[in-house]
Amino acid sequence: MDHYYRIKESFRDAEGRVRTRLMLAAGFLPELTTDEICDIRRGLSYLLEQSGELPGQQHLFDMNPMKEMSEKVCSYVYSFWEEMKRKGTIDAARESYEESVRKARRLVDVNTIEHTDAREVGAENVCLQAIRELQIDKFLQRRGWSERKIQSTLSSLIIRTVYASSEWKSLRLMEVNSAAMELQTGNFGDCPTQREVYAAAPELYAMKEELERHLCRRTDSLFNLTNRIMLFDLTNFYFEGSKRQSAKAKFGRSKEKRSDCKLLVLALAINTEGFIRYSSILEGNTTDPQSLPDMVERIIARNPVSRNPEEKVLVVVDAGIATEANLQLLKDSGYNYLCVSRSKLKDYTLKDEGRKVTVLDSRRRPITLAEVAHEPEGDYYLQVNSPAKSMTESSMNRQWRERFEAELLKARRALFTKGGIKTYEKVVERIGRAMEKYPSVSKYYQIEYVRSEVNPNHMGDIRWQITLSEATQEKRFGTYFLRTNVPTLDVVTASKHVLDD
């Protein structure tokens, strides 16, 4: 029976293990004897040694064994050798050897690592360094806190900063995942108790005023802040629980559209660098204008207002807070203010000598600012035009107009439909509800009610027309006004505040 021959190489890799690889399938060789097959093997081994393809290979032959072989055997040796070179199996042998060398020299094989009791330290260490820069630990030491209490409180603070978790979840994370406590104590597996974790937030909040003042002083010192500009704003957050025991959780207008849940309002005063100067938790039904007096009172208590006009703080508020009473309060308290006007100016002219400035917002969209002619004993206004805002307002106006007209058409069809609302008073009420629902567009409609000639108690027809052309409406879109009591606040300075905010 004929044998099928394969040329294979046996070698010892860089780690000392014996391996074999297939170099070439030679096939059936019936014309060769066993001795000739052995000579071919010896000849190929010699050529491999002499080629230097495998670095560090030890030589088996001191002299060329092919000198003693027949011409027939030598032709097979060279034929097989060229075939192996053509197929790249010799290059593969070299790559395999080099890979084994790399594996042998690798001090740690990451593919074989098994983690036991691993802990996260990256974000935790960043938070710990920030805490030490802010000297919160030293602040708590001056308050008479023990070292263990400080470490457990700061660990809870770090975990809730990184993972935004509850107290129960924070405790689980420190037990199995995070090294927030170990980074401070140096003891592996150290973890605060449940009592310590749950006590951290209430005890920190009990010293909120002192802690905020300390953080303000520290950030001012670290970053050399002047706090010449202050931003006032507020937001709210909801609770899915009942919150029956909370005195401040109330139902209100949720900014996340969760008016079915009780809310709390967070009021913040921050500087242009984003550092919080004051914070307060208010009742959930607190409206924007109601939040300002308390903020102003607390901030004045911490930072007395300078009497130097050039050092006055400029307070930036949105239109929701900028009522006439609140603006007067800011002025009486010694602050300058910059806000979005709650109403658009109707009869105004731009300054003849005033210049226009075009800047780009955070999304690289152009905004144009121009000075409005000042009226005696009045505030100063800047006209702001935003093409992007114009497109948004135009789209919303078109949608509301279509919906309002759809309500009018429904009411009109009902007059000629069996079972529809036809009573004059009820039809007027129906149209009134639609006008309340879409006040921004309904004010541009003139609606005529026609009583029925057959039955005067019924509505005969409803007619309407738009009093303001669509082109005129389009001109008003994208334009709003900034209001300030600072006469030297020109378009260049205001544009910087707009971009910073």
Joined tokens for residue 153: 């409180």
**Per-residue DSSP letter, 69:** S
Share of the chain above pLDDT 90, in %: 21
Rounded to an integer, what distance in angstroms lies between the CA atom of residue 215 and that of residue 204?
13
Q: How confident is the model at residue 495 (pLDDT cuts 50, 70, 90)?
A: low
pTM of the model: 0.61
pLDDT band for position 501 (50/70/90)? very low
Least confident of 94-98, 166-170, 318-322: 94-98
The pLDDT-based confidence of 499 (bands split at 50, 70, 90) is very low
Run of H or E residues at 48: helix 34-51
Burial class (CB in 10 A: 0-12, 13-18, 19+), 342: middle
pLDDT interval class at 155 (50, 70, 90): very high
123: its two tokens: 């974000």
Decide which of 354 and 453 is more confident.
453
Q: How many residues does the chain have?
A: 501
Q: Is pLDDT of 15 > 80?
A: no
Q: What is the percent of the chain where pLDDT is above 70?
A: 85
pLDDT band at 117 (very low <50, low <70, confident <90, very high): confident
Task: Map out the domains of the chain as residue ranges.
Answer: 4-105, 122-206, 226-340, 390-475
Fold of 226-340: Nucleotidyltransferase; domain 5 (3.30.420)
289 in Cβ contact with 325 (< 8 Å): yes
Longest dimension (CA), the chain: 130
pLDDT digits (tens, 9 = 90+) for 394-453: 888 888 889 999 999 999 999 998 889 989 999 999 999 999 999 888 888 899 999 988
Question: Tokens 């007059």 — which residue?
Answer: 415
- Comparing 50 with 164, which gets the higher pLDDT? 164
Once rounded to an integer, what is the mean pLDDT over residues 114-135? 89
